[in-house]
Amino acid sequence: MKDSLLRLYIAGKSAISQRAEQNLDQLRHLIQPACRIEIIDVLVNPEVAERAGILATPTLSYEHPERPRRIIGDLGDTKRILEFLGLELKESNG
Amino acid sequence: MSSHLREIEIPDVLERVKTGVDAFDELVMGGLPRARTTVVGGTPGSGKTIFATQFLAHGITKYGENGVLVTFEEPPSDIEANMRGFGWDLTAWRHAGQLAIVDASPSTGDELVIGDFDLAGLLARILHAVQSVNAKRVVLDSLTQLFDHFIGDPTVLRRELFRIAAALKQAGLTVLMTAERSTEYGEITRHRLEEFVADNVIILRNVLQREKRRRTIEVLKMRGSHHAEGEAPFTILGGQGLVAVPLSSLRLEQQSSMIRVTSGNPAIDEMCGGGFFRDSVTLVSGATGTGKTLLVTNFLAGGVAAGEKAVLFGYEESRGQLFRNAIGWGVDFAQMEADGRLRVFCLYPEAQGLADHLLAIQNLVDEIKPNRIAIDSISALERVSPESGFREFLISLTSFIKKREIAGLYTATSKSLIGGETASEQHISTLTDSIILLRYMQEHETMHRGLMVLKMRGSEHAKEIRRFTIDGRGMHLGEPFKAAPNVFASGDIDYYRR
């Protein structure tokens, strides 16, 4: 199975964008199997946002071949995010 | 966060951006103010998307201004297909770099909103599209859809919409946003979106009145600018889009000429003090069978004989019937048409709404350029329309005829055989320049026909009621009635003279 990809769309250095980046950084260490992370700044790459159909920022896009999902917001609520994406916490978490 | 909510400098005199809907641009004193945001509200099916797309289409084809269409509702492929019917080739404009479409239509995937967010993604995409085609005009269609997408967060949405509107304004863009209304009269838009984004508010209505659809456009608010008030009728035509009917131009300021033209009957010319005025409208009113259509026939034939071009719009009888009637009075319509001197158009009043009837008349008159036109009858058209719409129609038609310096003749059928008045007479008596009444008159044991010139603006006219007969050569006026008590309903004459 290919690596899953979590792509985060942010808008420049706004407070909410930075918060989302930090929250995602914490999140990535909690999940298994490991996901690749990609960060797209819509202010720098609006054409990428156009192709992906991004309206809101931050948007976290879970690029899963069978069940792609998106979460809009600052990614503060780890539990709900993992539930929605169907990802599991690492056993050895601690 | 509020760093880009700087004060926006507003120039003293607002530059206007033409929508290309001519009569609408007149309502708003030349067009929408540049670098301002206009919200177009309307119920589903009121023509919001068409109006908004037309704003972009005319920008591209007529005024050399490129545009961006942001669609929240239908995917771009659907819009492109739907708008082709109006003659707007969005695909071609896109390929030519004149139009960019931002597809913000709902995606199929799962989505969850947790916590705070902004719409910087959307704004970045719009600004990118604006840059890519050097756009001057932007349309967002519709805000309501965007709002419903993030229905759980109305406060965030309001704040973000305000930011987007402010940013587009600052970029000097003229923005048109559509928003849905739940009712024709009531709350301006759902979620009251207009309150925090709009400099200007326009309402499109599509009201069912007397079993007919009536479309109107109203300018509700225009910040820092004058605009015409009230609802102006419009119609939606294939190949053209939205066409508004000019109402603001009805100030009755037409220059009346003193040039006389024949009514087609020398005796009536004499009664009118030398004929009708060239750019005047005359109403012929009478019960059924009193000779209104004969008067019309004479009017047309008299013009043609004087070397003029004439047009007849018939709403009561078929072409065949009109032509046979005319032959019966010694007038050959077919020959006149063959000579290119006359055109006869017969239509069912029910075939279309009044606004469409008006546009049809205007288009044909501008194409044919006649010297005189006759409408037989105005009361048939009244049947198919709500009262308010009928009055607007009459005002617009009359002002149009006078502007074109054409002699016009309307007929109206009164409901009662003797005396009486019709609703159309009430509407029209103050609008037309002249009124001729045809009435049945009882004298002893027999019924006669009587003709009277009741009003002739700017001219002396005969005051007596003349008896007349009709035969195979037309209408013959005879002696005035000596005594004709109670031939007009009480107050009748006073009414018209007001």
What is the per-residue pLDDT across B157-192, written as a single tens digit (0 to 9) for each? 888 999 999 999 999 999 999 998 888 777 777 777
- Residue B450 has φ and ψ, to the nearest 5°, of -125, 145
Q: What is the pLDDT of residue B25?
A: 86
pLDDT of residue B488 exceeding 90, the answer is: no
Residues B51 and B148 both lie in one domain: yes
Burial class (CB in 10 A: 0-12, 13-18, 19+), B180: buried
Residue A90 within any structural domain of the chain: no
Taking the Cβ of residue A36 and every Cβ of chain B, the question of whether any pair is shorter than 8 Å is answered with no
In this structure, are B180 and B63 located in the same domain? yes
Does residue A86 sit at the B interface (CB-CB below 8 Å)? no
Q: How many CB atoms lie within 10 A of CB A22?
A: 13
* Identity of the amino acid at B197: V
Q: Report the C-alpha gap between B424 and B368 in whole angstroms.
A: 27
On whether the CB atoms of residues B331 and B299 are closer than 8 A, the answer is: no
- The CATH number assigned to the domain holding A31 equals 3.40.30.10
Give per-residue pLDDT as tens, B221-256.
888 777 777 778 888 888 888 888 765 444 444 455
Interchain contact A62–B (C-beta under 8 A): no
Domain contains A92: no
From the list B111, B118, B149, the residue facing A70 with the nearest CB is B111
Is A91 among the domain residues? no
pLDDT band at B71 (very low <50, low <70, confident <90, very high): very high
Question: Which of residues B215, B247, B279 is at a domain's end?
Answer: B247
| Probe site for chain A from B110, B126, B127 (most A CB atoms < 10 A) | B110
Is there a single domain that holds both residue B199 and residue B69?
yes
Half-sphere exposure of B75 (CA within 13 A, CB side): 6
* pLDDT for position A3: 66
CATH number of domain containing B464: 3.40.50.300
Q: For residue B129, which residues of chain A lie inside 8 Å, CB to CB?
A: 50
On whether the CB atoms of residues A36 and A55 are closer than 8 A, the answer is: no
B213 shares its domain with B304: no
* Residue B9 belongs to some domain of the structure: no
Say yes or no for a CB contact (<8 Å) between B116 and A73.
yes
Q: What is the length of chain A?
A: 94
What tens digit of pLDDT does each residue of B361-399 get? Answer: 998 999 999 999 999 988 888 877 776 678 778 888 888
The pLDDT of residue A91 is: 62
Chain A partners within 8 Å of B122 (Cβ): 54-56
**B4 in any annotated domain:** no
Distance (Å) from the C-alpha of residue A79 to the closest C-alpha of chain B? 11
Minimum distance, in Å, between the CA of residue A17 and any CA atom of chain B: 9
Burial of residue A26 (CB within 10 Å: 0-12, 13-18, 19+) is: exposed
Roughly how many angstroms between the first and final C-alpha of chain B, as a whole number?
Answer: 66
Task: Give yes or no: residues B273 and B312 share one domain.
Answer: yes
Range of the domain at A23: 5-85
Domain residue limits at B476: 260-497
State the Rg of chain A over Cα: 13
- Pair B446, B481: CB distance under 8 Å: no
Q: How many domains does chain A have?
A: 1
Q: Is B450 helix (H, G, I), strand (E, B) or coil?
A: strand
A24 domain-assigned:
yes
pLDDT tens digit sequence for B248-299 = 444 444 455 678 899 999 999 999 888 898 888 999 988 888 899 999 999 9
Q: pLDDT value at position B489?
A: 47
**Top-confidence residue, B380 or B127:** B127
Residues whose CB is less than 8 angstroms from the CB of residue B124 and which lie 6 or more positions away in sequence, other chains included: A11, A42, A43, A46, A49
Total domain count, chain B: 2
Contacts within 8 Å (CB) and 24+ apart, A21-27: A21/A58, A23/A74, A23/A75, A23/A76, A23/A78, A24/A60, A24/A75, A26/A78, A27/A75, A27/A78, A27/A81, A27/A82
Most distant CA pair in chain A, distance = 40
Beta-carbon separation of B128 and A58 below 8 A: no
How many residue pairs from chains A and B have C-beta atoms closer than 8 A? 98
Residues B201 and B275 in one domain: no
> Is B5 within a domain?
no
Residue B333: inside a domain? yes
- Domain match, B287 and B139 both: no
Task: Flag if A75 and B116 touch (Cβ within 8 Å).
Answer: no
CB pair distance less than 8 Å for B116 and A74: yes
CB proximity B108 to A under 8 Å: no
Percentage, residues of chain B above pLDDT 90: 40
Q: Does the distance separating the beta carbons of A54 and B115 come in below 8 Å? A: no
Regarding whether B33 and B168 lie in a shared domain, the answer is: yes
pLDDT average, residue stretch B8-25 = 74
pLDDT one-digit tens code per residue, B421-448: 554 556 666 778 888 988 888 777 788 8
